[in-house]
């Protein structure tokens, strides 16, 4: 399959559609997407035409209609579609987030403690997160790794939180796979 290059606007809209569709498992109205990413509903409708042409979105007509992402949309956004993904707990400012699911944790510059960062790729919106928020991610299902830190950056297009890592915990003596 050839790579599809999306504009940042198309990627924002498609990401919002995927997140909202996952939450409701039904069609998503253009107005709901517009509200999620703070855009004009007309802009969403215009962009949906190009996303439909790229076969990333299906339009469903009628009063209960709206938009649904195609399988290709998940591939283009590099999102795994797991029927039963393993849950990774997420705590945001001491409040457990039940509907968040962590897709990927990328630790960078671990060797440099003052600059240790973690990229946390969340399946779902990062709209409610702010720089300076306290986060705990984990423990992960296999390695039982838990990461604690402060939000230091937010990539809203890709649903990624950048954490300034304060602490990484893993149980001693447990084998990791």
Structure pTM? 0.56
For residue 87, the SS3 value is coil
- For the chain (length 177 residues), average pLDDT per consecutive 10? 76 88 85 91 92 92 89 80 64 81 75 75 81 90 84 85 88 56
- Residue 81: predicted pLDDT: 59
CB burial of 64-90 (b: ≥16 within 10 Å; e: otherwise) equals eebbbbeeebbebbebeeeeeeeebeb
Cis-peptide into 139, omega within 30 deg: yes
For residue 68, the SS3 value is strand
- Residue 47: predicted pLDDT: 93
- Residue 82: predicted pLDDT: 52
CA 41 to chain centre: 22
């Amino acid at each position: 399959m050839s790579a599809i290059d999306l504009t940042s606007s198309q990627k924002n809209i498609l990401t919002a559609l995927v997140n909202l569709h996952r939450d409701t498992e039904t069609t998503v109205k253009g107005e709901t997407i517009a509200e999620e990413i703070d855009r004009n509903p007309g802009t969403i409708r215009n962009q949906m035409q190009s996303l439909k042409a790229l076969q990333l979105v299906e339009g469903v007509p009628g009063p209960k209609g709206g938009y649904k992402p195609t399988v290709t949309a998940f591939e283009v956004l590099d999102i795994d579609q797991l029927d039963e993904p393993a849950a990774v707990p997420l705590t945001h400012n001491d409040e457990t987030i039940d509907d968040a699911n962590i897709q990927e944790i990328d630790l960078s510059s671990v060797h440099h403690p003052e600059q240790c960062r973690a990229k946390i790729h969340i399946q779902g919106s990062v709209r409610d997160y702010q720089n300076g928020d306290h986060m705990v991610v984990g423990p992960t299902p296999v390695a039982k790794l838990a990461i604690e830190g402060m939000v230091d950056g937010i990539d809203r297009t890709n649903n990624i939180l950048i954490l300034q890592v304060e602490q990484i915990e893993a149980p001693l003596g447990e084998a990791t796979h």
